Structure 1
Amino acid sequence: MGIYNVAAYITGYKDRAAVDLCLQGIYRQTHPIKSVYLLDNSPEALSVSRDRISTYWHQPENVGIGEGLKRAIAQALSEDCDFLWTFDQDSIPRPDCLETLLKTYQQLVSQRRPIGIVAPTPIDCLTGEIVMGAVFKRDRFLGCEPSVAGDFYECDAPITSGSLLYLAAARAVGSPRVDLFIDGIDLEYGMRLRQHGYFNIIASAAILDHHFGNPLQIKLFGIENTVLQYSALRHFYICRNHTYLETRYARGLFRLTGSLRRIKYALYEIVKICLYNRENWQNKVRSCLLGTYLGFRGKLGKM
């Protein structure tokens, strides 16, 4: 396998220990990393060691995930890198993760398939479950499960963390959307790559350990479910951005069914908040309602 120039990028926010663990996972890769970038969105700068961080941005006003990815892509392109490996701070790649991703990329390129993203298999550290990439079906995003056993499979949009972005594809389609701010950026960008003819791939053997919120297992209306303990801010952006994206990707009658699904989702989240996540519950309820309303109207940006 050839040596590719790979830059790694982390979005950090308030948690030094998580950023340190993510950095350690990056440094111990069996394939060399050319550069490491860190965007620190914390009000107070994280006191992480910067000896091996090539580029550090401190943004105390929190510029969001989309802006961070935009900067990292531009920086990696200026350094003539082949790939940008993107991370949330809550993820730790296993030592052979990058090597496996690059081998998968090389295998697919030899078959003349244009690749946008090669992503690992994220495993939730608390539940042991696989965090699936997404496919868009009719009026909504669904978790993508491999249809057959194999070394890799396609999806529309892998999660941001652990995704290995081919920078030639990024140059062709542009940067992720800044106005989505902190949620759904991976969905929009993955779909845009697909619409431009690129394939997004999940490599089964590349493993990423990922902390996916604070899950609480519940049974509501006879259905087993998982409640993630989100803040009011996160509820707002999830409801707004997913409503915006799903109602824009849906076509014909599916726009109506998609709109009804988003209303149902907001109401279901409100019920779960009132029953199981009551801290600051009034703001969380307002966030679900306001986010859904603004998503229908297409009002984006940081709020």
Structure 2
Amino acid sequence: MISNIAGVVVLYNPEEDIIDNVSTYYNSLQKLYVVDNSEVPSEKVLQELSKNFPHTEYHHLANNQGIAKALNIAASRAIEEGFDWLLTMDQDSQASEDMIPKLLEVSANIPKEQVGIIAPRYILETDSLDAEQSNLQEVDVAITSGNLLNLCAFKEVGPFREDFFIDYVDHEYCLRLKLSNYKIVINNKVLLYHKLGDSKSHSFLGYQVNASHHNFLRRYYITRNRLAVLKEFKIQFPQYYRNESTNNLREFIKIILFEKNKVKKIKSVYKGYLDFRRNKFGKYRHN
């Protein structure tokens, strides 16, 4: 157990495999905050969490208040209780062996006060481990799951952006950390096994192409929040801007070529664009 690290797992209608997932990192934490966005919590899952992981603190957010709200609650509680780091986990992610201690090895090369987030290498179901990677890699952004968040940096930079609700909460926060001169560091020797939506591989003109198959609601948030981040950070991070602008176009093409419910998803993309232009954020509302 590493005494200055707490963790948070954010739930939304979790399956029972959440217990196996949490068990891959729980023993490296002094405390785990469980923040549940499910409209109706699963009593069976709660009983199993309580039985298997005694050092937990449970918070239920009625009416699904989003991942940013959940992260802010956990970070604030961890600061109140004197922790230095907060491990942020999705319910679908599994840690590799000794992930947390290995992540902290970054501090042997980079002083803690310079690091905002230490992240693992993310392994998706469609990924191969053949490619060699350098040990430490400074990046612009990292996804939320598997991160060690420096809580001193959190106190300086401020909370996650709750009006984003879900998508691009992590990107926006990483870029904000970098503007405050904190580094986002990936330790490529540390692995996190992560499930990304309903990602599937498709054959197209002799190539294998991965499409995320996010539902229409996620397409709304991705479009709206991505455009907001691009607008906010275009000047400071031009390479990020170019990459994400390209991804925006590629994902739209993949929806047309490979995904189901194309019309509904395209309408959601358009609504996300309109709400971005109107500066209308927060939880999705039907109109």
Q: Distance in 2 between matches of 1:189 and 1:12?
A: 20
Q: Distance in 1 between matches of 2:143 and 2:245?
A: 22
Residues 112-157 of structure 1: CA deviation (Å, up to 9, x unaligned)? 7611111111111x21247xxxxxxxxxxxxxx99xx532110111
Pick closer, same or farther for the CA change 1:193–1:17 going to 2, 3 Å: same
The answer for unaligned runs of 5 or more in structure 1 is: 131-144
Pairwise CA distance, 1:224:
4.8
Q: Which amino acid aligns with 1:301?
A: G
> Which residue of 2 is the match for residue 217 of structure 1?
201
> Which residue of 2 is the match for residue 265 of structure 1?
248
> Which residue of 2 is the match for residue 6 of structure 1?
5
Pairwise CA distance, 1:43:
2.0
TM-score normalised by structure 1 residue count: 0.81
Pick closer, same or farther for the CA change 1:247–1:231 going to 2, 3 Å: same
Q: Distance in 2 between matches of 1:185 and 1:269?
A: 19
> Which residue of 1 is the match for residue 37 of structure 2?
41
Partner SS for 1:108? coil
Partner SS for 2:25? helix
Q: Distance in 1 between matches of 2:224 and 2:170?
A: 15
Partner SS for 2:146? coil
Pairwise CA distance, 1:272:
3.5
Cα RMSD for the two superposed structures: 2.7
Q: Distance in 2 between matches of 1:270 and 1:204?
A: 30
- The number of aligned residues is 273
Partner SS for 1:14? coil
Fraction of identical pairs, as percent: 29
> Which residue of 1 is the match for residue 118 of structure 2?
118
Q: Which amino acid aligns with 2:73?
A: R
**Counterpart pick for 1:248 among 226, 232, 235:** 232
> Which residue of 2 is the match for residue 16 of structure 1?
15
Q: Which amino acid aligns with 1:40?
A: D
> Which residue of 2 is the match for residue 295 of structure 1?
276
Pairwise CA distance, 1:193:
0.6
Q: Which amino acid aligns with 1:265?
A: N
**Counterpart pick for 2:94 among 92, 95, 108:** 92
Q: Distance in 2 between matches of 1:220 and 1:301?
A: 37
**Counterpart pick for 1:189 among 170, 173, 177:** 173
**Counterpart pick for 2:191 among 187, 204, 207:** 207
Partner SS for 1:17? coil
Q: Distance in 2 between matches of 1:9 and 1:261?
A: 31
> Which residue of 1 is the match for residue 259 of structure 2?
277
Pick closer, same or farther for the CA change 1:224–1:293 going to 2, 3 Å: farther
Q: Distance in 2 between matches of 1:284 and 1:229?
A: 10
**Counterpart pick for 1:156 among 140, 156, 165:** 140
Q: Distance in 2 between matches of 1:86 and 1:191?
A: 17
Residues 200-252 of structure 1: CA deviation (Å, up to 9, x unaligned)? 10011111111112222235588753111111110000011001111221139
Asked whether the 8 Å contact 2:126–2:201 carries over to 1, the reply is no
TM-score normalised by structure 2 residue count: 0.85
Partner SS for 2:283? coil
Partner SS for 2:40? coil
Q: Which amino acid aligns with 1:276?
A: F
> Which residue of 2 is the match for residue 83 of structure 1?
85
**Counterpart pick for 2:151 among 141, 164, 167:** 167
Worse-superposed segment, 225-234 or 61-70: 225-234
